[in-house]
Structure 1
């Protein structure tokens, strides 16, 4: 990669948000809030981010972060599933986390197990934990949880991953066939949260199986999402205060950082498969959303802490700097740097 170490995002806040347990869930402004504890969701996302940082810079500190986030997932496992919400005293609040949390864990573990740049011990631990979780994939009924799992299994490409991936992908295909039609190219009757993971999973499923219908669905749904989230070259993610129900206008706020990262990653996958410049352009505009190319023309990145603010509200910015926002900003930046360096 071309001078990528000189372009890495500021990592200071990452170390502030991480203690010897893992990454805190929330913050008050730029100060981690222990009263809100931790989530496996955030630590799974952080694992991917730490691996990307290590691959970009080779710093032992980043490898240590990856091991810490992976250790969190080890502790979160309960049978073939994962617990999610943990209090500051390291006690989980439930015995079984959400299906989306499970899917994100499979996604992170598959990615980590596949990275040849990592020491064998970390890769093997990731793979062992993933294998222990595989039976849980059969219980996934929601489209996003299936999508995260498809992406992770595609990355891993080990053991029975292809058979499980095929079943999950066919479920996503069926959901799309049921809901799409008459100008609505989507998997559900509304566009809600973490949307781009759905077309991204279909593109990965095509790459894994060479099933052309998956490619068609992936591109159709991604194009539909982009048509509904871009205007005048500005990314306008569907707001969480109302979403985008079929046949209605999208909610403008609250716009959240997770959508910019997910859409960037899906667009980079689409560009990889099609070489169409529109996907590269949209990915770059998603990254720009964080730094001021948005409806408020204001950067969400805190110049003092290096953290990312939690969203755009009608009255301005949500100035809390939580884990999801930070990890999405870092991951989007690192994915774009890797993509730019490989061109």
Structure 2
């Protein structure tokens, strides 16, 4: 199957990828985010690796340039930009910072990233890296550890180890009886927490990281696999310890990061149960979900913005699009092995 990329190019202009769409129509009113353009860089590199077409290489340059523009003088990243190309803040969230490190690490480790782009991204990375030691939030730490895990240097390995240690401490502090998680709520982008420990184990060989990752992933799996399909925790209330789990909305980013996490677990352990779970998570996009409705729009190649109580959210924003494409391409890599 050749992927339909119409929506990617409609959502991308001379600046980068727009944040939102109104149905299938790109919506300039909400401008851009570095969050989205960082992950779009990963997507573009995967597309270029698979298909080798210049149009995807052009996207690599576009999204990399966005990250260059997003970095502030301190080395951190601004996140929200208006359609007029004016930044709306001096510094973005730690989640945004971590996602930038993830994207840059991915790009610098890849054989298909142009040399000149690598040189520029390495400068961005070197300026940002010192801040990774001072992060406070779980997901910012987790994304950063994943990005740092692409590097062989002692400094990056020490940082990965330190971040993973802090995540394990959080895990030990919050786990209680049957509740085996890093905090007292299962909220958004949950898979990234065990995923980061898996990558830390790969880099450091510290067995505690693998054991904690697998235990947390097993707990998350019990929550998110219902009746043979993947059902991520709903964003309207999440799942607080001792409370009922929110059913909706289900977000496309959850399926993508679950795919990446389970495939990492499969590659590290060889346990086929993780490969099977990755396949089920990827099938969420094609209709193997709680509503039995495909999330991918066959006309544009876009991905709907989630499952709601009433059906699909018919908008097709950047995060949904990039999540679907990355998930599809990652699964196609596994199938080709």
Asked whether the two chains share a fold, i.e. TM above 0.5, the reply is: yes
| 1:33 equivalent in structure 2 | 27
Give the 5 Å matches for 1:185-334: 185-334=180-329
User: Quick one: distance in 1 between partners of 2:151 and 2:103?
Assistant: 10
* Shift in CA distance, 127/8, structure 1 to aligned 2, threshold 3 Å: farther
SS at match of 1:26: strand
Cα deviation for residue 138 of structure 1 reads 2.3
Gaps of 5+ in 1: 1-6
What's the C-alpha RMSD, in Å, of the aligned pairs? 1.0
Counterpart contact for 2:34–2:80, Cα < 8 Å = yes
User: Quick one: distance in 1 between partners of 2:94 and 2:135?
Assistant: 6
1:50-90: CA deviation from partner (whole Å, max 9, x where unpaired): 01111111111111101110100000000210000000011
| More off after superposition, 266-275 vs 19-28 | 266-275
SS at match of 1:25: strand
User: Quick one: distance in 1 between partners of 2:324 and 2:133?
Assistant: 32
| 1:23 equivalent in structure 2 | 17
Cα deviation for residue 118 of structure 1 reads 2.0
Cα deviation for residue 8 of structure 1 reads 3.8
User: Quick one: distance in 2 between partners of 1:163 and 1:273?
Assistant: 20
| 2:7 equivalent in structure 1 | 13
Counterpart contact for 1:115–1:123, Cα < 8 Å = no
Cα deviation for residue 159 of structure 1 reads 6.3
Counterpart contact for 2:75–2:124, Cα < 8 Å = no
User: Quick one: distance in 1 between partners of 2:122 and 2:139?
Assistant: 22
| 1:145 equivalent in structure 2 | 140
Counterpart contact for 1:84–1:101, Cα < 8 Å = yes
User: Quick one: distance in 2 between partners of 1:143 and 1:179?
Assistant: 13
| More off after superposition, 174-183 vs 158-167 | 158-167
SS at match of 1:310: coil
Counterpart contact for 1:107–1:148, Cα < 8 Å = yes
1:258-316: CA deviation from partner (whole Å, max 9, x where unpaired): 00000011000111111112111111111110010011111111111110000111011
Q: How many residues align?
A: 336
